Chains A and B, each alone.
Chain A
Amino acid sequence: MDATINKKCQPRLVKFYTPVEVEKQTLLLQQVYELISQRNSQIQSSFLVTPPSLLMDSGDNEDIQIIYKNYATLYFTFIVDEQESELAILDLIQTFVEALDKCFAEVNELDLIFNWQTLESVLEEIIQGGLVIETNVRKIVSAVDGLNNATDTENSFTKIAGSRISEAFQAFSYTNFGGWGSHQ
């Protein structure tokens, strides 16, 4: 029941845990982006009050919430039902970003663009079939490592930096990250 969308105009990672047709996925992405991009994430809350029309139109979705967090040039967006705690989802986004940061040493949008598979893998270790399975960053990263090292490494997508920087994540997200990543 969570859909994870992550983008800046262009999607960087899209994952639906309920069957949604591709055309509607794209449309939803567009609508959510338009709503989010109007907001000032410095001073405004991380919740979309008016859901996009696509979600409003379907009758039984009265309790859908859209929760997003802005990191530098990226919006990490979760669309969840009322079974999820808003604050917990915000924590989860933080966990996701922290895990990515560990995987890439110091993550920036460019890394994420070219390592989409890693994004997928990390997310798969956090959310399985729409349910959160792990919130411990260390366990997430080691599971991804485990998968990548499982067999012969002839494939191109085994780029995992093993560094374990845990200090000052805050500083990372507000300073270093800010200038990076290409717009548009």
Chain B
Amino acid sequence: MSSLYGASTEDVKKRLRPFGIFFEKSLKDLIKGIRSNNETPEQLQDFLNNELAECREEVKSPDFNMKTNAVLKLTYLEMYGFDMSWANFHILEVMSSNNFQQKRVGYLAASQSFYKDSDILMLATNLLKKDLKYDLSNETVKMGVALSGLSTIVTPELARDICDDLFLMLNSTKPYVRKKAVTALFKVFLQYPESLRDGLDRFVARLEDDDTSVISAAVSVICELAKHNPYPFVQFSPLLYEMLIQLDNNWIIIRLLKLFTNLSKVEPKLRYKLLPKVLELMNKTTAISVIYESINCIVKGQMLEKDDYDTAQQCLKQLESLVQAFDPNLRYISCVLFYHIGKINFEFITQYDKVVIGLLKDVDISIRTKALELCSGITSTENIKTVVRTLIKQFVDVDTVQVNDQGVQIDIPQDYKVKVAKTILDVCCLNNYQNIGGEFDWFLKILTDLCIVSQDLNNPEVSTLLGDNFRNIMVKVPSMRDAALEKLIELTSNDDIITKLPDLLKEGIWCFGEYSDLIDNCDTLITMLLNKAEKLPENVIQAMIPALVKLFSTYANEEDKSKSDILGVLSNVIAFMEQKYRSTNFDIQERSVEFYEMLKLCQDSLDDEADGLPLLITDVLPSLFNEYELGPVSHGQQQQLLKSLTLDLDTPFLSPEELHQLMENEGFYDDEDAYYKDDDSAKSIASSTQSHREETEDISPEKDFSMTEEELAALEDHRRQERFDNPFYLNDDSDQYGDKKLINLSDNEDDNELKAPKEPVIKISTKKKKSKNYPSVQVLSDIVVAPSSPDTNQDTKKTNTLRPSDGITLSTSNKLRAFDFSQKHDIGDEGEYTVDQQEIEKLRVKLAEQHIGSNSADADDNEEIIVIKKKKKKSKDKSSKEKTKKKKRHPTGNAISPPVDTDSPTPEHS
């Protein structure tokens, strides 16, 4: 097939086209070829490469038919992933053809491949200008095609050059041209915002066009523009509001609702006028899409306030019926809206628990996934068991759902199950186990079940969460410790769990150690753990090493343990430590070495002691672990501690006098000369002792009790040097962490932080939860060390979003967002803009009136808005707007407003 146009010359080609008919492959042939060469990917690739090579030749042809044909084929092939930007120049040629259909092909190709080629865009500018020249001779179709093309390849320069022609087209007699021009102007505005500022009124006038399509296009464009920069459009709210009332085209109404969503975000006062209207629209319309968008507008436009139960219930009532619709699309989107309403105030949705539980069983996993997010809003002590039961049943691979009286099998994907597991744990732990209502036995069962069912998820996050929950119960609910330990031991003896939920074990093993005094036969547990150690990953071993020692300590100190038993267990543990001695994991190595030495000492002392246990085992070893009971500390508190802690590393523990005194008492003093002879670092002690000697040996009197400044500095230098030389010190600037740092830090915090006591008060509240008639279980609440600040969380979030990515960005780059509409530069006269300002003022007045009128009964108690109109003042500064608006508070709602500027008194009450 390629031989036709080999390297042979134009002559051959001409000879082969006797009647000017061309026999090159048309697009149709190409498509046929693709279909017939489709058996293997390689074959297809070969074929396509071949075709591409042909096109490369054809596109160079001086024959425009052939060239156009090749360009068309290339445009098609781009869909298969072949870049065609190399042919941009040929595309430009085809674009400039006088034959309209060829021009069409050119524009189509250009819209797909010109976007990043700045050279060709520059060349295309002239052509577009010519094609878009607005005069009567230019045909409608040609302008249509050019406008479409312009919408995809506009540049700032082109936008500037072309915008006047486009504004002229807005007055064309043909609606087709008007609507296309309106849409094309969108891209022009984005690239050249000055044109929007100068032509705003002319553009907005299209909202009142005779043709629905033009209105629709104009609303769409304004809606999109408002997304980037809503401020210039707030002034048109009355007009848009009228349209919302009068139009009956659902498509436009939806766009208007979207537009109001954008506007309402920046002008909260719109809410008072809009909200009733949108609600009315919602209740009146029969179109579901309009109902949906009305609610969407209320929710996303921030018109629903936290305490506006009435509005919320109206919306939710509509949603309730949608959420149970047959159409899965309706169920899905209304479920999403449910979530958004719930996010504003969870209390709005609490009564819809049955609906949500129904959604959890939906046939569509997407809907279930969304419903999961609603769970924490609807669960209460009453329904938590139903919710959790419903969810835990879904840990199957295939679920059967009844749709139209027949069972439909749906696959339950893994990531959904992960989410289910997280949700269950979430709803149970909410507000310090409030939902459980004290039934921890039940919760423990659920936890154990979750461990069993989530084995196959292979998700470290879930297994960590499960571990955390077990640990939390152990720590926070003292009465459950026995039962939870039992479950944990049960789980640990299961080999499947060990391999699949290692992170659960990490916490579990920690619990064994921490609460070893609750375990009767620690030796058995030690043996079991040692046997399992082979299969455990490093991070678990890490937790296991101290746990083993704790277990041993408890075991050895129990009554009636024979010495040989203790020695047996001890040697097992020592053998294990020895084995981990050379681990490549630093933490394991360090811990095992530490405890190895410790236990070795225990072993020796045990051998030495004839009868009874050595002090090392009875006193010293337990004192390592049992000094305090650990309490629950809320997340992030330790970091808080660091911030508010005043750690003074510079003041010596003892003043020289005190030290002196101390040493004298201890009788430590005798051989100090030999002891301290070479030790520079003991200078302080030495100097103090010297001063003591003063009395007895009568040494020179300049030796003082206290050190001189220089001596202190020298000492500090020496210490720093030593720390620097010591490889075990991290070389940070911790010396400078003194007082200065603390002050700096607290400067950033708010006032509470400053008031935080210097010495952190650790307060453990063990107050019992008062819950109606549920079994009262003591739940320890978190220890508060310092006022919490969400800083740390936010930081991590930020880094997540700022992460550079190579994904696709579907948003258009534009200059509109950053464009300052208040700057007028040198174009246009200033009067126009101040008029706008006044209009905004008028609007504000109007809205304020509306607000007061409609809310006289339950208005925001005593806040009134008085608009003071200044004398006409030409100012481009936005701050003038601020000046003219003043809020005043009155003790009573119906007080007479104080005298305002005389030239325009504003009525407060209707």
A residues in contact (CB < 8 Å) with B: 1, 3, 11, 13-14, 17-20, 22-26, 28, 40, 43-50, 53-61, 64, 79, 81, 83-88, 90-91, 113-114, 116-117, 120, 124, 128-136, 139, 143, 146-147, 150-152, 154-158, 182, 184
Contact = CB atoms under 8 A, between A and B. Distances in A.
A44 B411 CA distance: 12
B812 A45 contact: no
B82 to A, nearest CB: 7
A150 B807 contact: no
Contacts of B83: 22-23
B603 to A, nearest CB: 56
A1 B224 CA distance: 10
B220 to A, nearest CB: 5
Contacts of A90: 329
Nearest to B288: A87
Interface centre among B363, B410, B810 (most CB of A within 10 A): B810
Interface of B (DSSP majority class)? helix
B713 interface: no
Contact of A44 (B31, B80, B328, B805): B328
B186 A83 contact: no
Contacts of A13: 79
B519 to A, nearest CB: 45
B457 to A, nearest CB: 17
Given A11-B80, A87-B289, A43 B223 contact: no
Contacts of B329: 45-47, 86-87, 90
A133 B808 contact: no
Contact of B366 (A18, A47, A120, A132): A47
Contacts of B144: 143, 147
B148 A56 contact: no
A117 to B, nearest CB: 7
A150 B801 contact: no
A43 B363 contact: yes
Contacts of B80: 11, 26
Interface centre among A20, A88, A90 (most CB of B within 10 A): A88
A183 to B, nearest CB: 11
A120 to B, nearest CB: 6
A47 B333 contact: yes
Contacts of B35: 113, 182
Contacts of B258: 83-85
B186 to A, nearest CB: 6
Interface of B: 26-28, 31, 35, 38, 72, 76, 78-83, 99-102, 104, 108, 115-116, 139-142, 144-145, 147-148, 150-152, 176, 179-180, 183-184, 186-187, 212-213, 216-217, 220-221, 223-224, 227, 251, 254, 258, 288-289, 292-293, 296, 328-329, 331-333, 363-367, 369-370, 403, 408, 410, 415, 801-803, 805-812
Given A17-B152, A47-B333, A155-B101, A60 B811 contact: yes
A136 B213 contact: yes
Nearest to B217: A133
Contacts of B147: 128
Nearest to A49: B366
B810 A3 contact: yes
A159 to B, nearest CB: 10
Given A43-B328, A85-B293, A150-B100, A135 B810 contact: no
15 contacts: A13-B79, A43-B408, A46-B328, A47-B329, A58-B809, A61-B811, A81-B811, A87-B329, A124-B108, A129-B184, A131-B224, A134-B179, A135-B251, A147-B141, A151-B101
Contact of B38 (A14, A81, A158, A184): A184
Contact of A11 (B79, B363, B802): B79
Contacts of A54: 807-808
A79 B35 CA distance: 27
Contacts of A117: 27, 72, 108
A87 B333 contact: yes
A91 B808 contact: no
Nearest to A151: B100
B59 to A, nearest CB: 17
A23 B224 CA distance: 28
| A-B pairs with lowest CB-CB distance, top 8 | A129-B151, A57-B807, A58-B807, A87-B289, A45-B328, A45-B332, A26-B81, A19-B115
A17 to B, nearest CB: 7
A150 B141 contact: yes
Contact of A116 (B76, B292, B369): B76
Contacts of B99: 151-152
A148 to B, nearest CB: 8
A133 B213 contact: yes
A79 B807 CA distance: 15
A49 B369 contact: yes
Contact of A87 (B26, B151, B292): B292
Contacts of A50: 415
Contacts of B141: 146-147, 150
Contacts of A129: 148, 150-152, 183-184, 186-187
A152 B98 CA distance: 12
A10 to B, nearest CB: 8
A23 B80 CA distance: 10
B882 to A, nearest CB: 30
A45 to B, nearest CB: 4
Contacts of B806: 57-58
Nearest to B803: A59
A86 B363 contact: no
A145 B118 CA distance: 34
Contacts of A59: 801-803, 805
A23 B807 contact: no
B81 A128 contact: no
Given A128-B148, A151-B100, A134 B213 contact: yes
Given A54-B808, A58-B809, A64-B810, A156 B28 contact: yes
Contacts of A23: 81, 83
Contact of A55 (B140, B150, B187, B810): B810
A28 B80 CA distance: 12
A128 B220 CA distance: 11
Interface centre among A53, A54, A158 (most CB of B within 10 A): A54
Contacts of B186: 129, 131
A139 B213 contact: yes
Given A26-B80, A88-B251, A151-B101, 18 more contacts: A1-B811, A18-B811, A25-B81, A43-B364, A44-B363, A45-B329, A47-B332, A49-B365, A53-B807, A58-B805, A61-B809, A81-B810, A85-B293, A85-B296, A128-B151, A129-B183, A132-B216, A133-B180
A1 B228 CA distance: 13
Contacts of B216: 132-135
A119 B180 CA distance: 19
A55 B807 contact: yes
Contacts of B812: 1, 18, 130
Contacts of B179: 133-134
Contacts of A182: 35
A86 B80 CA distance: 28
Nearest to A46: B329
Contacts of B289: 85, 87-88, 91
Contact of B364 (A45, A132, A146, A184): A45
B175 to A, nearest CB: 9
Nearest to A115: B28
A91 B220 CA distance: 16
A13 to B, nearest CB: 7
A86 B333 contact: yes
B104 to A, nearest CB: 7
A57 B76 CA distance: 28
A56 B180 contact: no
Contacts of B213: 133-134, 136, 139
A120 B180 contact: no
Nearest to B291: A87
Contacts of A147: 104, 141, 144-145
Nearest to B809: A58
B187 A28 contact: no
